[in-house]
Structure 1
Amino acid sequence: MTTTGDENLGLTQRSLAERARDVIRERITTGTYQPGYRIKERELSEELGISRIPVREALAGLKTEGFITLQPRRGAVVTELVPEDLREIFELREALEVQEVELALRHGSPEERAKLLRVVEKEQSALKSGNGDLVRRYNAEFHEVLIQMTHNSLLATLLEPLRNRLNWLFKQNDDPSIICGEHSEIAQAIASGDAEGARALAEAHVATSRRLAHRLLFNDGGEA
């Protein structure tokens, strides 16, 4: 099938918008753009060497993900989370991540279970070496393998924006040992076929993440 000029233009605009979205999201998750920071379309389009149209599309996509809030007379600003936001995020995350673990246990192959165990071993090694970048890398890989094991692309689509939205919090965490330990316990439960234990560990893992998010955002460990 032949691609028309209009279709090519549409593909180009989408790829540019995706590039802009990746740049903005990375700057938010790394803390370059702090909560409340105003993102100016014109400045960003000039910096990236693209028109304002894909930048605007990127901001619209990030608004859907929850990273960006559109305010009257200010335009696009980085979202400032409040306790109520965290309550909603973690209520949904608990439901989805517990289901993720159950599906991973049900549908994951022996090879995939072994891969998950290897990832947590690497995560523990990186933790012992004090290499924070590697710990975060294997943290992300743990969740990538886990979602692959569900063999459910719709669940992956639903979980991605939740994880992206909170990713910057955990990059600021100076003590990832608890999170890493819980990953190891979840992997062991899945590998051994312990459905009840895996479910309980997944629930506890979300609760730990929720307390951590509260501490980093609001300097408390309370519930939203």
Structure 2
Amino acid sequence: MTGSSAGRERARPGGPGGGPGHGSGGERPDGAGSGGGREDGSGSGGERPDGAERAGGPERTSLSARARDAIRQRIADRTYPQGARLVEREVAEELRMSRVPVREALRALVGEGLLELLPHSGVRVRRLDRADVEHLYEVWEPLAVQASRLAARRVARSAPVEPPGVTALRASLDRAEQAASDPEGAREVAAHTAFHEDIVALSGNPMLARTMERLGGQLRLLFGMREEPEHMRAQHAVMFRYIAQGDEESAAASTLLHVRDSRTVALRSLFDDA
């Protein structure tokens, strides 16, 4: 979990607060579109001339998902910092898409709690307050512990054959270690998030995976806001070792320690808790 809020925030052109949308004109996420050539083939007006987007077909769904993932990543790596107002037209230009899939992506991210609607002026990246952080940890803690427990159980039941998910988890751990020196912190945020996601994948429980996916955006936002001391990075290696050994109880206990340490660090770095 990565760098401090102050140290990681990067100013963006267009006005105070960073992020697109600080220029003229607050726009709603359902506004009409304009813009030049896009990777999806749109011209002026922002709509596809063949009507594929208006028809709501699979191509539009794919573009909307890509836009959603790209915006999530920009929020996580603080390209769009907390409080930044996002203007649909400008985000579409950045992503080289028409405005329709971007509009759908912004609406979806409002539903995920990453963005919030502004009266008559579009959306902005949500600021997490103390209650948000505490509530997030209250939900994440039991889910993370159960994910590690189930992942270790699956490894134990597969012995002596190692499930492929262990290899992916080991690779995530290696990437997190390599990314620790990244001065911007974006790679470490991505690697840390991937490590926890790979534990969930290894658990083999699709319902748990869907539940965690709903929390994923807010967890990425949180990981990008707070520092991660060296001892917490070392906890990843301990968690991995117990999971790879198929030791359920130790995997669960080490994950519980990690999540509670994470909560303490988050509250201290974000709200000056002693």
Question: TM-score, normalization: structure 1?
Answer: 0.80
Seen in structure 2, the aligned counterparts of structure 1 residues 203 and 12 have a Cα distance that, compared at 3 Å, is same
Letter in 1 for 2:204: H
Q: Match for 1:57 among 104, 108, 119?
A: 104
Q: What is the alpha-carbon distance in structure 1 between the residues aligned to residue 210 and residue 96 of structure 2?
A: 30
Q: Match for 1:89 among 112, 121, 136?
A: 136
Q: What is the alpha-carbon distance in structure 2 between the residues aligned to residue 216 and residue 72 of structure 1?
A: 31
Q: What is the alpha-carbon distance in structure 1 between the residues aligned to residue 262 and residue 75 of structure 2?
A: 19
Aligned pairs (5 A) from 1:18-97: 18-97=65-144
Q: What is the alpha-carbon distance in structure 2 between the residues aligned to residue 210 and residue 18 of structure 1?
A: 30
Aligned pairs (5 A) from 1:147-162: 147-162=200-215
Residue 168 of structure 1 and its aligned partner are, at CA, apart by 3.9
Q: What is the alpha-carbon distance in structure 1 between the residues aligned to residue 99 and residue 166 of structure 2?
A: 46
Residue 138 of structure 1 and its aligned partner are, at CA, apart by 4.5
Partner of 2:64: 17
Partner of 1:194: 247
Structure 2 residues not aligned, in runs of 5+: 1-50
Is the contact made by 1:117 and 1:184 (CA closer than 8 Å) also made in structure 2? no
3-state SS of the aligned residue for 1:111?
coil
Partner of 1:126: 178
Q: Match for 2:270 among 183, 205, 217?
A: 217
Q: What is the alpha-carbon distance in structure 1 between the residues aligned to residue 99 and residue 113 of structure 2?
A: 21
Per mean C-alpha deviation after superposition, the further-off stretch among 143-152 and 105-114 is 105-114
3-state SS of the aligned residue for 2:167?
helix
Q: What is the alpha-carbon distance in structure 1 between the residues aligned to residue 110 and residue 166 of structure 2?
A: 37
Q: Does 1:164 align with 2:211?
A: no
Residue 176 of structure 1 and its aligned partner are, at CA, apart by 4.5
Report the structure, 1 or 2, having the larger helix content. 1
Q: What is the alpha-carbon distance in structure 2 between the residues aligned to residue 55 and residue 123 of structure 1?
A: 30
Residue 94 of structure 1 and its aligned partner are, at CA, apart by 0.9
Question: TM-score, normalization: structure 2?
Answer: 0.67
Partner of 1:115: 167
Q: What is the alpha-carbon distance in structure 2 between the residues aligned to residue 45 and residue 203 of structure 1?
A: 41
Seen in structure 2, the aligned counterparts of structure 1 residues 160 and 200 have a Cα distance that, compared at 3 Å, is same
Is the contact made by 2:86 and 2:123 (CA closer than 8 Å) also made in structure 1? yes
Is the contact made by 1:169 and 1:216 (CA closer than 8 Å) also made in structure 2? no
Per mean C-alpha deviation after superposition, the further-off stretch among 34-43 and 81-90 is 34-43
C-alpha RMSD of matched pairs (Å): 3.0
**4+ runs of 1 displaced by more than 6 Å?**
5-8
Percent identity over paired residues: 38
Seen in structure 2, the aligned counterparts of structure 1 residues 150 and 40 have a Cα distance that, compared at 3 Å, is same
Residue 116 of structure 1 and its aligned partner are, at CA, apart by 6.5
Is the contact made by 1:120 and 1:184 (CA closer than 8 Å) also made in structure 2? no
CA deviation string 1:83-129 (max 9, x = no partner): 111121111101211110111112233413753774476358637x8
CA deviation string 1:27-69 (max 9, x = no partner): 2111121211111112323444433322221011111221101
